[in-house]
Amino acid sequence: MLSAIEQTSKLLKIARSSKVPVAHVRFATEMQGDDIGTFAVKVPTLKRLSPDSKDAQFVESVRPIKGEWVSTKRHGSAFFGTNLAAWLTFIGVDTLFITGCTTSGCVRASTIDASAYGLRPMVVTDCVGDRAEGPHRANLFDMEQKYADLVTSKQVVAYFKALKNQ
């Protein structure tokens, strides 16, 4: 997963210099997990992720900067219980480049919801990761078949650079 974070950090720098809108979403729970329902039953360790918890913070190299959209979610999808879809609609975004972890959980849930909202999800394959390679690969395969296009950070960087030159 370290490689995915490193690649995401590089991609984020290019996105910022290209003036592409950037959204960040993290998971945190209040009330020792009572606000995340059955998610806490399936994954009890999530109950420890309070907003101030060290493990609920953004990794330094991909930390949001002023002017970027930031939200806290309480389930797998970046859309569920947040105003991400409203913000994207308001600023006229129709395509998402999705990075993060885990591929089989939050990335997949966010990709499916992006598709359901009529957005075009692009999963950046070298900027996502999972606990194990099997679920990672299987979920990338399935998302490509049904919900998203798979791209590499190199392809996205080329796209961002082309935007800058327009």
What is the DSSP-derived secondary structure letter of residue 47?
A: G
Longest dimension (CA), the chain: 50
Bond from prior residue into 102 cis (ω within 30 degrees of 0) = yes
In the residue annotation, 106 being an active-site residue is answered as yes
Long-range contacts of 44-51 (CB under 8 A, 24+ apart): none
Separation of CA 36 from chain center: 19
Q: Which of 77, 121, 97, 106 is nearest to 11 (CA)?
A: 97
- Determine which helix (DSSP H) or strand (DSSP E) holds 123, and give its type and residue range: strand 120-129
Which residue out of 78, 106, 114, 156 is catalytically annotated? 106
Annotated catalytic residues are 106
